[in-house]
Amino acid sequence: MKRAPSWIEVIGVHAGLLLACTVVLYPVLWVVKTATDESGRMGSRGVLPIPREPSLVHFERVVMARDFSGRLVFFEQLGNSIVVSLAATVVGLAFALTAAYAFSRFVFVGRLTGLRAMLVSQMFPAVVTAVPLLFLLDALGLFGTTAGLVLVYATTSVPFSIWMLKGYFDALPKDLDEAALLDGASPWIAFRYVLLPLVRPGLSITALFSFMGAWNEFVLAALFLDDVGRYTLPITLQQSVGGFDPDWGAFAAGSLIVSIPVIALFFVVQKQLVAGLASGAVKG
């Protein structure tokens, strides 16, 4: 019979977990402190992340920010971020899902070479491809447009999504495909109604990572967008601290606001997230 842990072991484990949580959450609490302190200073004295003059003025300044023409730009840019991130996720997954199924189930010339090429492409930062992408978007007439940014985000997420989803398809026995084909189903029917429901946890976690990548991306958005009305929120956040007089209070408040949709999305898909991580680790 398994021995019950002693009270010393229980206290030691809880103390270690409390210390780990403190180390992880301490920087986050400082961001909250900077956002809710009226001074908005990062170098305030003291070690406790407690605001001395609690205020929501920084949140108000971020939400009520206006452009040169007097328009409220925050909600417009929030909508841009949501549209771009969701569209890039859907478009990228639509291509990656069928490609991952093909790489997992079929043997064809160039299969391993293609997989390795996609893996190598992930070793380079996005800024390396910025100039070629700029010329391509300009040639297509998509430079400075939301559609062009969606296209860039979707294509850059495809290699990662293919590798992720391929692992989940590999974890499924090929007997499922063969049984469906013996029953008269076509390969598309077997993919759509047999395999696709089984890789739903992997699809959820891949979509989450793709959404987060597009939601947080700043460099390409700053290069390809030249209209304040089309900006995404990360561009506005950078502009608040990019000058000679950085506004750290507004930056911290904006960072907390930007993180809310991602946190909410985590809570929505947390069950699928755990199941996806567990099933995807079975076989790669």
Question: Each residue of 248-284: pLDDT tens digit?
Answer: 888 888 888 888 888 888 887 777 666 555 554 444 4
Residue 189's pLDDT is what? 85
Identify any residues that bridge with 37 across adjacent strands, giving them in sequence order.
54
Q: What is the mean pLDDT of the chain?
A: 82
Q: What is the pTM of this model?
A: 0.80
What is d(CA 239, CA 246) in angstroms, rounded to the nearest whole number?
Answer: 9
Distances (CA, A) of 80 to 77, 86, 186, 245, 257: 5, 10, 40, 27, 15
Identify the CATH assignment for 74-280 out of 2.40.40.20, 1.10.3720.10, 3.40.50.1970, 1.10.1760.20.
1.10.3720.10
Task: Give the model confidence (pLDDT) of 169-180 as tens digits.
Answer: 888 888 888 888
Name the pLDDT band for 5 (thresholds 50, 70, 90): confident
What is d(CA 78, CA 206) in angstroms, rounded to the nearest whole number?
Answer: 23
Task: Give the model confidence (pLDDT) of 110-132 as tens digits.
Answer: 888 888 888 887 777 777 888 88
User: Of 66-70, 73-77, 104-108, 213-217, which gets the smallest average pLDDT?
Assistant: 66-70
Identify any residues that bridge with 72 across adjacent strands, giving them in sequence order.
66
